[in-house]
Structure 1
Amino acid sequence: MAINLIATLSLAAVAGVAAVTKSQVNARKDTAEQDYPPEGQFIDVGGRKVHAVVRGEGPDVILLHGAGGNTREFTFDFMDRLTDRYRVIIFDRPGLGYTDRTSDTYDGVFNTTAESPAEQAEMLQAAAATLGAHKPIVLGHSFGGSVALAWGLNHPDAIAGVVNLAAPSHPWPGNLGPFYTVNASLWGCAVLPPMISAYASAQQIETSIAGVFAPQPVPDGYIDHIGAPLTIRPTNLRTNARQVTTLRPHIVDMAGRYASEFTRPLEILHGDLDATVPLDIHSIPLNQAVSHANLTVLDGVGHMPHHAHPDLVEAAIDRIATQAGLR
């Protein structure tokens, strides 16, 4: 009898915590979406919506954010550096920000699969074509750079060139650590994202962002602009964890194709102190594989080159524009 009573009370306690967590998640999600609404327009791609911010006039430049991010990564300040001479398009990548997943296949709490870089490039290339951007320069940061590389490999006639910022391009040793492994697992993805979404503190979020920028400081105003609460919505956390943990096999396939199939202009910028995506594992081998690539190593820079040296990133875009005869 006592055991049954303890079991009943325990289940009731778990249910109570779950109910409180769900309420907190919904409240924080609603507040995040009210405080950080879509910045741009929605484009229909086969019944799926793609969120795009479009500003400026001139040759087309597409900017793709990294893991877990959204358009605000580039609307913070980098976009405005380009709009005097380019039409700049920023996409939320599939399943992140306000863009839909590429397919119902990837929906569901207990689904551990995710869109490959190639699938993401396919969806975003279609969105770009709808906007009339038929041969853009595509810049990708971190995971967004992997998507940009897939775009160049699979749609070479629909791209002017790639600017690759600190992106995974080659297989890496070991695993990605417990945060990604647990959040992407069958049961972890059901339990942990709602807990993080409901109870992560502002200080924890700021510490996490500071770790990505290190050794550079987080720019003033960045955290307020970026919409960090959007990135910890449960669906966003699950999508990001699954995309990251399923990335490696796609990178293995892509790495075998660069030398013979990557024909478009390629600019690579990477910090030598990047602890998130190490220079020696990714951009150095990429530069060696693509004979016409141009690698710029940024001394003393971590994982955010477009914040640490935006002028050098601008210059890389301009070089590709010149090579492609866009200016």
Structure 2
Amino acid sequence: MDFMNRHGAPDCHNPPADIVSNRRARRASHPRTASLIAAAGVLTAAALMNHHFAKRAERRNPPLGRFDEVEGVRLHYIERGEGPAIVLLHGNGSMIEDFTSSGLVDLAARSHRVIVFDRPGYGHSTRPRDRIWSAGKQADLIHAALARIGVSRAAILGHSWGASVALALAIRRPQTVCGLVLASGYYFPSARVDFALVSGPAMPLLGDIVRYTVAPIAGRLLWPLLMRKIFGPAPVPTKFRHFPKEMALRPSQIRAEAAESALLIPAAAATFRDYAALRMPVVIVAGAEDRLINPAGQSRRLRRAILQSTLRLVPGAGHMVHQTAPDAVMSAIEEMFSRVDARGSQG
């Protein structure tokens, strides 16, 4: 054999090709193995760091209100004021503190019973993984929660994704909703690549890895850019510093945000044909220069779809119209209630 020397012993200087190949493969595998171990170590360290930040955020931002166990959800909510009830539903990525920091809760509580929920997965409310939290499913949850706290009929204000929940509640439970204020909402399905791009952390397994490791860090880096987009062209108001962004960057809330990004177009597709059947007073309000959701393609179109609706476009305001123009949103609330009262007086 050619790998034996002239004494019949194996030739160590000229080993067979398969032995050489195996040696090279083992040497090549060492750097790959080391790289995988290093990557796993980095991801583990990131996960531990993000877990620490999440727990710290919850300690620094304790619940503002009360809890109720509703359909397996530990639902956090606040109540302020007295009078006709109005429920405020926040948008994607947000929580109760968005409305409290805006000043809208204080304005409305002067003459109304104001109820604000942390929707499932946001703030201090849980989001069980045994169901898909569509706008309709959340509407049913809010309806059950209102019944438990003794509210049989209320006006609903929804901002952004919260407007989708408000519409679903009005469509599914019209006897519960006396009027609607819809702010900066997405009402009609259209192609949106950006929604698909940010929905990754909602995926099982791989998405879980991303939201515990990379997503919170990326969120902190991109936060200033996101704020400019959702507030623009208006500047971010000083009062918004009270919004606890560290709560929004927890892995648990990132999953809710990603899931709702994926569900926004289906939510609009599931409800837009029912808008014309609504009979309660509807006031639509939006920033005239919203850079996230085009008011012409959404709010103006909704005004045409709901005959008894009115539209208020706020000049110079962007997507966060309740933050930059709370007085304008409060005026929309007052208009809605005046129309509710007029309907009641007419029998």
TM-score normalised by L of structure 2: 0.86
Residue 67 of structure 2 aligns to which amino acid in structure 1?
F
Q: Percent identity?
A: 30
Which position in structure 1 is the counterpart of 2:6?
A: none
Q: From the superposition, tell whether residues 150 and 201 of structure 1 become closer, same or farther in structure 2 (CA, over 3 Å).
A: closer
Say yes or no: does 1:165 pair with 2:183.
yes
Offset of residue 198 of structure 1: 4.8
2:11 is aligned to: none
Match of 1:52 in 2: 77
- Tell me how far 1:309 sits from its aligned partner: 2.0
CA-atom RMSD in angstroms? 2.0
| Stretch deviating more after TM superposition (287-296 or 238-247) | 238-247
Amino acid at match of 2:49: Q
Q: Which residue of 2 aligns with 1:139?
A: 157
- Aligned equivalent of 1:323: 339
- Count of residue correspondences: 317
- Which structure is larger by alpha-carbon Rg, 1 or 2? 2
1:149 aligns with 2:167: yes
Amino acid at match of 1:248: I
Q: Which moved more, 1:225-234 or 1:202-211?
A: 202-211
Paired residues for 1:44-123 under 5 Å = 44-76=69-101, 77-101=103-127, 103-106=128-131, 114-123=132-141
| Residue ranges of structure 1 left out of the alignment (5+ in a row) | 107-113
Structure 2: which 5+ residue stretches go unaligned? 1-25
Deviation at 1:147, TM superposition (A): 0.6
Paired residue for 1:237? 254
Change (3 A) 1:176 1:44: same
Give CA-to-partner distance per residue, 1:308-327, whole Å, 9 cap, x none: 22122112111222222389
Q: Distance in 2 between matches of 1:136 and 1:152?
A: 10
| CA deviation vs aligned residue, 1:190-218 (integer Å, no higher than 9, x gap) | 23322345534756423322321011111
Classify the secondary structure of the residue corresponding to 2:156: strand
Q: 3-state DSSP class of the match of 1:68?
A: coil
- Is 1:218 the counterpart of 2:260? The answer is no
2:300 equivalent in structure 1: 284
Deviations 1:228-272 (A, max 9, x none): 01111111111111112122122112111111x211110000122
Q: Which amino acid aligns with 2:228?
A: A
Amino acid at match of 1:89: I
Whether the aligned pair in 1 keeps the contact of 2:164 and 2:267 (CA below 8 Å) is: no
Of 202, 214, 217, 1:199 maps to 217
Once residues 238 and 71 of structure 1 are traced to their aligned partners in structure 2, the CA distance between those partners, rounded to angstroms, is: 18
Once the two structures are overlaid, the 10-residue window that deviates more, 243-252 or 138-147, is 243-252
What secondary structure, in the 3-state scheme, does the structure 1 residue paired with 2:226 have?
helix
